[in-house]
Structure 1
C-alpha cells in the first residue's frame, strides 16, 4: 500500500505517533520519526526494526523552522525523497484561560500551530521539488470547532491547524498534494492521560462523555490515518475525519 514511500511523523516517540509509524511500516512505508526525546524515538525505531522496516529517528524541535528544514533534509539524504507527513506533535494541559500565562499560551501554540505550519511548508516544498505529489495529515481535536473549557490554548491552536489545512488544500492541490485532518477523541495514551485526566475520577468523568463507552486505541486512530494518507483517499482533501465515539455529537445541555 505504501511501498517505496517515505513518511515523516512528528511526535513519533509515543502514543498516536508511534502507532501511526508502526502501521505505516507494516503497510510497506519507510518511516522517519521526529520529536524532542531521543530515547522515545529510538524505541519506536527499535519496534520498527523488529518488523524489518527501514526507519530513521531525527530529534527535532518543531518550533524551530531551521530544525524542521534539517529534518526533511535528513529524510531525503537517507531515503532519497519524502512522500508524506503526519503532524502529530502537540502540547496540552488543562487550566482556565484567565489564569493561563503568556508562556503557557505560547508554548502550546508554538508546538501545535507554528510547528505544524513549519513542517507542512518544508514537506510541501520538497514535494514540489520532487514533482511527486503527496499527502499531509494533521492530528487535531474536535474542540477545534466547538471549544472546550480549560484548553483555550490548544483549542485555538488546533483550530488554526484546521484552517491552515483547508487553505493549503486549495493552494497545493495543483501540485498533487493533499491535506487533511483527523480529530481523535479521548485516546489511551500516556501523554493524554497525564495532561487531561490526572486521576481515576477525572478519567471516569471524561469517559462518561463518550457515547461509545470507551476510549480510542492508538492503533485504530492509526488505521484511520492510513486511509487518509493513502491512495484510496486520492480525491479527498481539506477534510477532517472525526474519530471520537460520538463524544462531540453527544454534548449534553439538558436532561440526564
Structure 2
C-alpha cells in the first residue's frame, strides 16, 4: 500500500516538516511518507553517518532535505537547527518530536543518570523542539506530533524511566494543545506498538522471541514504519483540522491484553544476563 494511492502527491508541497530523531527507525519512516507527498524535510540526529544515509534516501524520493547534527538536550543547538531550517526551506508546518532513548532496566538497578538521560532526551528534548519552533508554527498555524509509547499509560516492568518520560510527553502535549490552540497550533501524540526493523525492537524484543510477542498482539503482527508515517500524514493534513490534544494508539491492539507478555520476555532475558 503506497500512500500516494490515498493522498494527493502534492498535499504537502511547499510545506516544511521538522523531525527530531529523523535519521532512522519510525521517524525516518514518517519522513519518507511526508517526502512522498511533496514536503520539504529537516531532520535532526546525532550520527552523521545515519543522517547522510537518510538524506540520500529522502532526496531519492524527490524531497528537499536539510540535515542537522544536534542533540535535542542542547537547546541552543536545536534552536539553531530550526533557524537554519526556516532560512533553507521556509517556516515549519509540522514538527515531529521523535527523538527518544530506551533500555530495559529494573528500577532497583536504574542509576539516577540513566533515569535522567531518558527524561532529558524524550521529555526535555520534546519541550526544546516545541519551544524553539513555536514562532514558526504560529506563523504557519502548524501542528506538533509527539511520538509517545504505551508505557505512558500502562506500567511495563523495567521501563519506569520510559513510562515517566512518555507520560510527561503526553501531558505536555495536552497543555500545549490548550495554550497554543488559540494560535491555530494543533498538538497530538501517537503511540506506536512494536515496529518491525527498528532499533527499539532490536533492543527490547529478545532475539528469537518475536513470534511469541506477535501472538499477544490482537492483529497478529508487528507494525511498520509506514503504519506510523501514514497516521502522521493524516494528523498533519486538513482532514485532521479539528483534532488536537489527543493520544492516538497505533499498536495493533498490543496494549489491550496488558504488558504481561512483554514483561515475561524481558524478565527472562534479564535473569539470563544476571547468571
User: Equivalent residue of 1:9, what SS?
Assistant: strand
Separation in structure 1 between the aligned mates of residue 178 and residue 227 of structure 2, nearest angstrom? 28
Matches within 5 A, 1:82-161: 82-128=92-138, 131-161=139-169
User: Equivalent residue of 1:16, what SS?
Assistant: helix
Deviates more, 1:166-175 or 1:191-200: 191-200
Superposed CA RMSD in Å reads: 1.3
Separation in structure 2 between the aligned mates of residue 245 and residue 171 of structure 1, nearest angstrom? 32
**With structure 2 as the length reference, what TM-score do the two structures score?**
0.88
> What is the CA distance between 1:157 and its match in structure 2?
0.1
Separation in structure 1 between the aligned mates of residue 110 and residue 259 of structure 2, nearest angstrom? 26
Separation in structure 2 between the aligned mates of residue 33 and residue 116 of structure 1, nearest angstrom? 14
> What is the CA distance between 1:30 and its match in structure 2?
0.1
Number of aligned residue pairs: 250
User: Equivalent residue of 1:247, what SS?
Assistant: coil
**With structure 1 as the length reference, what TM-score do the two structures score?**
0.94
Tell me if the contact between 1:109 and 1:157 (Cα under 8 Å) persists in the aligned partners. Answer: yes
User: Does residue 45 in structure 1 map to residue 32 in structure 2?
Assistant: no
Separation in structure 2 between the aligned mates of residue 35 and residue 252 of structure 1, nearest angstrom? 30
User: Does residue 216 in structure 1 map to residue 223 in structure 2?
Assistant: yes
> What is the CA distance between 1:161 and its match in structure 2?
0.3
User: Does residue 55 in structure 1 map to residue 65 in structure 2?
Assistant: yes
**In structure 2, which of residues 184, 194, 199 is the aligned counterpart of residue 191 of structure 1?**
199
User: Does residue 75 in structure 1 map to residue 81 in structure 2?
Assistant: no
User: Equivalent residue of 2:84, what SS?
Assistant: helix
Separation in structure 2 between the aligned mates of residue 186 and residue 97 of structure 1, nearest angstrom? 22
Tell me if the contact between 1:72 and 1:123 (Cα under 8 Å) persists in the aligned partners. Answer: yes
Deviates more, 1:206-215 or 1:221-230: 206-215
User: Does residue 13 in structure 1 map to residue 20 in structure 2?
Assistant: no
Separation in structure 2 between the aligned mates of residue 140 and residue 220 of structure 1, nearest angstrom? 15
Q: 1:151 to 1:205 in 2, by over 3 A?
A: farther
> What is the CA distance between 1:252 and its match in structure 2?
7.7
C-alpha distance after superposition, 1:12-43 (max 9, x if no partner): 11111111111101111000010101111111
Tell me if the contact between 1:16 and 1:189 (Cα under 8 Å) persists in the aligned partners. Answer: no
Tell me if the contact between 1:209 and 1:251 (Cα under 8 Å) persists in the aligned partners. Answer: no
> Any unmatched runs of 5+ in structure 2?
1-10, 261-275
User: Does residue 182 in structure 1 map to residue 190 in structure 2?
Assistant: yes
> Any unmatched runs of 5+ in structure 1?
none
User: Equivalent residue of 1:186, what SS?
Assistant: coil
